[in-house]
Structure 1
Amino acid sequence: MSLLVQKVNHPEDLEKVFAIRKVVFVEEQACPPELEWEHEDESVHFLATISGKPCGACRWRKTEDGYKMERFAVLKEFRGQGVGRALIAEALSDIPEDAHYIYLNSQLNAVSLYAKFGFNVVGEQFEEAGIQHYKMVKKI
């Protein structure tokens, strides 16, 4: 199994990223499509593949607060194979070294995964797109 995560900006690769997010967020988790497709142009996108097959995606973007990591998605048949960890590691390594504030909104079942990368829960649980989340901030 060869797992590869790459930063992508070619339209063909972005289509693969968006297709993965559509399956995971819009179809599986019933997120409203209009919430799913925002801030695409200002985001840095990543595509994970296993043996050449698209299997996961994520992105980061600069916001007024700092750097926000978001839209982590792994197709169901590839879960439990380290794809999420590889996406987080690659996205983190791509954020500028002088970043003073890196944060994300984690679904409840992913909190422990992000914690392994130095993220801590901040504040109360909240709902986003009908799903419970915690805001998490990386210790720098």
Structure 2
Amino acid sequence: MIIKEIKHGSEDYKRTVELRDAVLRKPLNLEFSAEELDNEFDSFHLAALNDHDEVVGCLVLQPLENQQIKMRQVAIREDFQGKGLGKVLVNFSEVFSYEQDFNEMIVHSRDVAMGFYEKLGYTKVGEPFEEVGIKHFRLEKKL
């Protein structure tokens, strides 16, 4: 397994979009717009590739103000879920972000993923809110 930064618009990026679409968007009957994807040009994109060079996990890191960075669109291919890849990918993203001089990670977590992030040291902040039609929570972690 390799986790690496990939370039926006690259072939690997296109494969991460396909994974994000399958895992996060299609179950909600949503699709990415070209504008949404174009707006990710200034974000960091991380991909986990298996031994066959297939994208099996990914996430997006969007720089914010005040040395904060937002982890978005965490997706793990279904046959790799529950095997620890999500934890490895999130841990990698935290080290990566710290090395880029960010000191706090922000996550908007779906209700069903709250336990995952809390086990990794994230703290819920504020009240739940709706995003993409479902309940989310804001979580934070100092890096």
Is the shorter-chain TM-score for this pair beyond 0.5, marking a shared fold? yes
TM tier, shorter chain? 0.7 to 0.9
Aligned length: 138
Q: Is the 8 A contact 2:21 2:31 kept in 1?
A: no
Match of 1:80 in 2: 82
AA in 2 matched with 1:88:
V
Q: Percent identity?
A: 28
Instruction: Evaluate the alpha carbon distance shift between residue 8 and residue 77 of structure 1 in structure 2; reply closer, same or farther with a 3 A threshold.
Output: same
Q: 5+ unaligned residues in a row in structure 1: which ranges? A: none
Please, what is the CA RMSD of the aligned residues? 2.0
AA in 2 matched with 1:18:
V
Residues in 2 aligned to 1:36 and 1:22: alpha-carbon distance in whole angstroms:
12
Alignment pair present for 1:41 and 2:44: no
SS in structure 1 at match of 2:25:
helix
Q: Is the 8 A contact 2:7 2:13 kept in 1?
A: yes
Q: TM-score, normalised by structure 1?
A: 0.86
Q: TM-score, normalised by structure 2?
A: 0.84
SS in structure 2 at match of 1:40:
coil
Match of 2:13 in 1: 14
Q: Is the 8 A contact 1:59 1:72 kept in 2?
A: yes
Residues in 2 aligned to 1:99 and 1:92: alpha-carbon distance in whole angstroms:
9
CA displacement at 1:36 relative to structure 2: 5.4
SS in structure 1 at match of 2:98:
coil
Alignment pair present for 1:50 and 2:50: yes
Q: 5+ unaligned residues in a row in structure 2: which ranges? A: none
